[in-house]
Amino acid sequence: YDNNDNNMNQWCQIIKENKIDVIFHLGPRHVVTSPPYVSFCSQFIKSKHVFLGQNMCRSQPIFRFSCTQTENLHQQFPKFYPRIYTEDKQPQQHPSLPTDDVIYGEHYLKYLLIPTLSPNRSSCLPIYDSSSSSKKPSPFRQSNEENLIDDGKMSEEDIAKYGDIKADDLEIIFLGTGCSASSKSRNETAIYLNMYENGGIVLDAGAGTYGQLFRKYGPDKIDLVMEGIKMVWISHMHADHMQGIFRFLHRRHVALSKLRNKSTHKNKNNNMEEERILIVGPFTLQFILQEYAASCICMDAECEEELGHPEFIFDFVTHEEFQSPPPPLSEFLYKKMKITKAKSIQVKHAFMSHGIAMVNERGCSLVFSGDTAYCPHLIQSFSHPTVLIHEASFDDEHEQKAAKKAHSTTSQALSTASSMKAKSVILTHFSQRYPKMMALDNLRAHKGN
């Protein structure tokens, strides 16, 4: 709102001459609480004000099934499933407007026009209480047979086979384990590799990648986590593997700007150089990201400023260039993340689909298959990985469907792990036809992995 805008003043005059029962405000908090805007609102003494903008609404977890599911998993396996951020809080009151005249938006709020003009909260979600989730029956299949999942404790024999590799070398956080599209049980594919003091890597970035990171770390830690991520790997151009990268880049840009504003003692140009992130993917992704960077204007209500074009924040490398990283790239990988070896591996899926293999300075190695059918080339490209993350879109009953869609079954994924002599294997990228858990009976023969 601009007091000096004649057209706006004329518009306000027209409104004042008519009875305005309710005004809906879509602006963020720093706009709707600014003196000019408050002056504008004060002209409508008898009107109700409904605020729907960022930081003016109730902050609440919406996906209640997901929250319940995660809490149940935490109760059963606290080492593997930490609690997620689920704060449910009311917004701060508007500093200038009378409380009786102000309504703050929340999900499923209705504003009725007839028979009386009033808000209706009958469909709004109740205050979320994580403790109540643990009292509900687990949504996961229970079996009378021996449970394949233990409490995370390892035998001395298991520990010995990992050599000098330490627990703080790598933490693997699955932000999404579903394929094709999100569901209330599984998010789209995304994996965060937390390498602690050596930064982090995101492997694939399906929709909701940033949201999952936020739920994992909460508002107090998320900016530092985003700053620490030094590389994003996109295995191929299917939407469930890359459509979250735009939101991710935007939020990383906002996080870096907030951290830069808090850190006045550092040289700004040096900071910008340190903030650069490497994106590796099909060459077609580069054109999309360049177009995004050139046309996108980042705005953030918390920073209360326009953050400008985000084109400076990433460098791009194709899968082909990553197959044998040239010295500048290999130096970047070692300097930022202590990765001594890395290469892309072409796999059997869509056009330009690749997996990745990496080794850090202490010998901890990881292979990520991306999407692929059973792939001898992947097996031949790397052996004895510390961890193999392999897709398992279908169970063995759908082997023909898996072959038709160039995906793997659970047994094919485990057979690949056995052929590669992987020390550990983690299956992911499950079809949404398995909302809870695949049948495990046919995996008994592979339990050693």
Sign of the C-alpha dihedral, residues 244, 245, 247, 252? positive
Both tokens assigned to 43: 């002209």
Query: Measured between alpha carbons, how far is residue 237 from residues 232, 280, 421, 422, 447 in Å?
Result: 14, 12, 29, 27, 33
Helix-, strand-, coil-residue percentages of the chain, each rounded to 5: 35, 20, 45
Quote the Cα angle for 22-54-103, to 5°: 30
| Consecutive H or E run containing 256 | helix 245-262
Q: Any long-range contacts for 68-73 (C-beta under 8 Å, 24+ apart)?
A: 68/133, 68/136, 68/139, 69/139, 69/185, 71/130, 71/133, 71/134, 72/133, 72/134, 72/136, 72/138, 72/139, 72/140, 73/140
Q: What DSSP assignment string belongs to 9-27?
A: HHHHHHHHTS---EEEE-S
Query: Measured between alpha carbons, how far is residue 437 from residues 84, 108, 213, 424, 442 in Å?
Result: 21, 31, 23, 20, 13
User: Is-contact 50 103, C-beta < 8 A?
Assistant: yes
| Of 429, 436, 433, the residue nearest 413 (C-alpha) | 429
How far is it, in rounded angstroms, from Cα 354 to Cα 439? 28
Whether the bond into 325 is cis, omega within 30 of 0:
no
User: Is-contact 134 72, C-beta < 8 A?
Assistant: yes
pLDDT tens for the chain, 449 residues long, are 555 556 666 666 666 666 778 889 988 888 888 888 888 888 777 788 899 987 888 888 877 777 887 888 888 788 788 888 877 777 778 877 777 888 898 888 998 888 888 888 898 888 887 776 555 555 554 444 444 455 556 666 666 666 666 777 789 999 999 888 777 778 899 999 999 989 999 999 999 999 999 989 988 899 999 999 999 999 999 999 999 999 999 889 888 888 877 765 444 444 556 678 999 999 999 999 888 877 766 555 555 455 555 445 788 999 999 988 888 899 999 999 999 999 999 999 988 899 999 999 888 999 999 999 999 999 999 999 999 999 999 988 899 999 999 999 999 999 999 999 999 999 999 988 877 666 555 555 555 54
Q: Which pTM does this prediction carry? A: 0.82
> Which one-letter DSSP state was computed for residue 355?
E
How far is it, in rounded angstroms, from Cα 418 to Cα 429? 19
Both tokens assigned to 396: 């063995």
> Which one-letter DSSP state was computed for residue 442?
G
User: Is-contact 32 93, C-beta < 8 A?
Assistant: no
